[in-house]
């Protein structure tokens, strides 16, 4: 499988997000309403994106931490295909979100956002509970403080994949970073600033697509 391409709309207004995504929506498999946009505008961008792009997978990156089924209901009701939960949430919160996802349809899902001090014991509990997607995340703030992708990151990503997770990778990704993950069955790459803020966002999205195809197409 060739990894999907997702763009994170971490804009601070819906108008900016919609003006941005219309330039490169054709290149995308997944459109993300970023956490920053959720904080600014609530669920409205999810509703608008669902109306504008009925065929696309839409992710609500709320990084939920509690009240799982209630948060999930808000996301899926607004039209999200997937939503996110923070890895430190209680397993019951994650299960509540997943149960609500199943109520809305078999295409609905919950992604666990990996930040901070999670362990592979946690990961075993997640997969035993039926959660199948994780997002391996280099945080925006860690990146700003100088953290780059390391061998340890790559080993953890491989291990999560070997456990059976669909692993998505994100965090200040550039086209040049993609080759670091070659040979791993990455489910999806999320880019935000490097596409939204590019001089030509459409060309930037195309460059991500082309590089993903170049690196993974032969993988079968």
Burial of 161: CB neighbours in 10 Å, binned 0-12, 13-18, 19+: middle
Residue placing its CB nearer to Mg ion in the complex, 75 or 155: 75
Task: Measure the CA–CA gap between 71 and 82, rounded to whole angstroms.
Answer: 12
Cβ of residue 59: shortest distance to ligand 5RP, in angstroms? 9
Of the candidates 78, 125, 82, 84, the one whose C-alpha atom is nearest the C-alpha of residue 106 is 82
Q: Does 190 bind ligand 5RP (CB under 6 A)?
A: yes
Total residues at interface with Mg ion (CB under 5 A)? 3
Contact positions with ligand 5RP (CB under 6 A) in 149-178: 170-173
Among 50, 56, 140, 156, binds ligand 5RP (CB under 6 A): 140
Which residues neighbour 8 within 8 Å (Cβ) at sequence distance 6 or greater?
A: 32, 34, 61, 170, 190, 191, 192
The residue among 89 and 190 lying less far from ligand 5RP, judged by its C-beta, is 190
The one among 4, 10, 74, 93 contacting ligand 5RP by CB under 6 A: 10
Nearer to Mg ion, 131 or 188 (CB): 188
Residues 26-85 that bind ligand 5RP (CB under 6 A): 34-35, 61
Distance CA 214, CA 131 (A): 30
């Amino acid at each position: 499988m060739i990894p999907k391409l997702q763009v994170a709309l971490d804009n601070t207004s819906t108008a900016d997000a919609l003006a941005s995504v219309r330039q490169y929506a054709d290149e995308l498999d997944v459109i993300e309403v970023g956490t920053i946009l959720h904080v600014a505008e609530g669920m409205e961008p999810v509703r608008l994106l669902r109306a504008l792009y009925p065929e696309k997978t839409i992710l609500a990156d709320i990084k939920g931490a509690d009240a799982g089924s209630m948060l999930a209901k808000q996301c899926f009701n607004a039209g999200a295909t997937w939503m996110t939960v923070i890895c430190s949430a209680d397993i019951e919160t994650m299960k509540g979100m997943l149960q609500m996802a199943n109520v809305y349809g078999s295409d609905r899902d919950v992604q666990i956002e990996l930040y901070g001090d999670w362990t592979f014991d946690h990961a075993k509990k997640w997969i035993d509970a039926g959660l199948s997607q994780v997002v391996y995340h280099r945080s925006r703030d860690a990146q700003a403080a100088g953290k780059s992708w390391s061998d340890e990151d790559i080993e953890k990503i491989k291990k999560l994949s070997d456990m059976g997770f669909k692993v998505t990778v994100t965090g200040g990704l550039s086209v040049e970073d993609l080759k670091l993950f070659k040979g791993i069955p990455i489910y999806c790459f999320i880019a935000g600033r490097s596409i939204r803020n590019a001089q030509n966002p459409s060309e930037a999205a195309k460059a991500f697509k082309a590089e993903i195809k170049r690196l993974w197409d032969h993988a079968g």
